[in-house]
Amino acid sequence: RKEVEQDPGPFNVPEGATVAFNCTYSNSASQSFFWYRQDCRKEPKLLMSVYSSGNEDGRFTAQLNRASQYISLLIRDSKLSDSATYLCVVLSSYKLIFGSGTRLLVRP
Amino acid sequence: GEEVAQTPKHLVRGEGQKAKLYCAPIKGHSYVFWYQQVLKNEFKFLISFQNENVFDETGMPKERFSAKCLPNSPCSLEIQATKLEDSAVYFCASSQSGDLAYGYTFGSGTRLTVV
């Protein structure tokens, strides 16, 4: 079983749609949690950190449920520029563990 | 500088040849990480350094892969006798500390193609 699991997608949505991604992790001792964005196999870039209290950054909302080891990302009012692969990432034992990514395609 | 500089951007090697990749971390960052991304987005942790010392090498294939971070030189990842399955993008990242992922900055990667 992979340490971080994500639905690979692709999610194909129209502009303006709301889309949600989910992720589960297996190591209960994991320390920190993040969503990264990757465009066309360029370097991954940090989108946002994820906290149990939930956190929001503009159109993006992330949530962590430590009890069920579940992480989510909600994107509201999707833009064409949101098309990318979204990587669920867990910090565990001083290294980042990546999920395999969920691909999002936003169409006009 | 304020970016992680990886060279070369692209590297093509015939099977059995050696490949050497370089990474200059951000000045002041004491941790360096190497990751391998093969097709289908699988990121594999290879090795990390704290300054010039190996911090975690649990992801390194023992036989053909080696890495170094020497003072006043870019870090390097070397693959002896490359195989087709080594074809991947190799990302380097640096951080001021090992436990804060928001401090990890990734380089733009080296795309290695083994033919």
- Tokens 């001083």, residue located: A94
Say how many C-beta atoms besides its own lie within 10 A of residue B108's C-beta.
16
Percent of chain B whose predicted confidence (pLDDT) is above 70: 93
Q: Looking at residue B101, what is its pLDDT?
A: 65
Position B39 scores a pLDDT of 76
pLDDT at A5: 95
Over residues B104-112, the mean pLDDT reads 95
Residue B16 pLDDT > 70: yes
Label residue B40 by pLDDT band (50, 70, 90): low
Whole-number Å distance between alpha carbons of B6 and B18: 18
CA distances in angstroms from A4 to A10, A12, A35, A67, listed in the order given = 18, 23, 12, 15
Burial of B92 (0-12, 13-18, 19+ CB in 10 A): buried
Considering chain B, what is the average pLDDT of its residues? 92
Average pLDDT over every residue of B83-103 = 86
Q: From B21, B19, B17, select the one nearest B8 (Cα to Cα).
A: B21
Give A51-98 pLDDT, tens digit per residue: 888 899 999 999 999 999 999 999 999 999 999 999 999 998 888 999
The answer on pLDDT for B99 being more than 80 is: no
User: In this model, does residue B20 exceed pLDDT 80?
Assistant: yes
Average pLDDT over every residue of B47-60:
94
Q: What is the pLDDT of residues A36-59, one digit of tens each?
A: 999 987 999 999 999 888 899 999
Q: Is the CB of A100 inside 8 Å of chain B's CB atoms?
A: yes
What pLDDT is recorded for position B102? 67
As given in the structure block, the two tokens for residue B65 are 């892969």
Cβ neighbours of A46 in B, within 8 Å? 101-102, 104
Among chain A residues, CA nearest to B48: A95
| Pairing of β A45-49 and β B19-24 | unpaired
3-state secondary structure of A40: coil
* Paired residues of A38 in beta bridges: A85
- Interface contacts A/B by beta carbons within 8 Å: 61
Element (H, E) at A55: strand A55-57
Residue B23: band (very low, low, confident or very high) from pLDDT cuts 50, 70, 90: very high
**Residue B90: C-alpha distances to residues A7, B41, B60, B64 (Å):** 24, 12, 13, 15
Q: Which residue of A has its CA nearest to B91?
A: A43
- Contacts with B106 from chain A: Cβ below 8 Å: 43-45
What is the pLDDT, as a whole number, of residue A53? 87
Is-contact A102 A6, C-beta < 8 A? yes
Measured CA to CA, the distance from residue B75 to residue B13 in angstroms comes to 20
Is the pLDDT reported for residue A8 higher than 80? yes
Tell me, what's the pLDDT at A35?
Answer: 95
d(CA B8, CA A107): 35
| CA torsion through residues A69, A99, B105, B80, sign | positive
- The values of phi and psi at residue A101, to 5°, are 95, 150
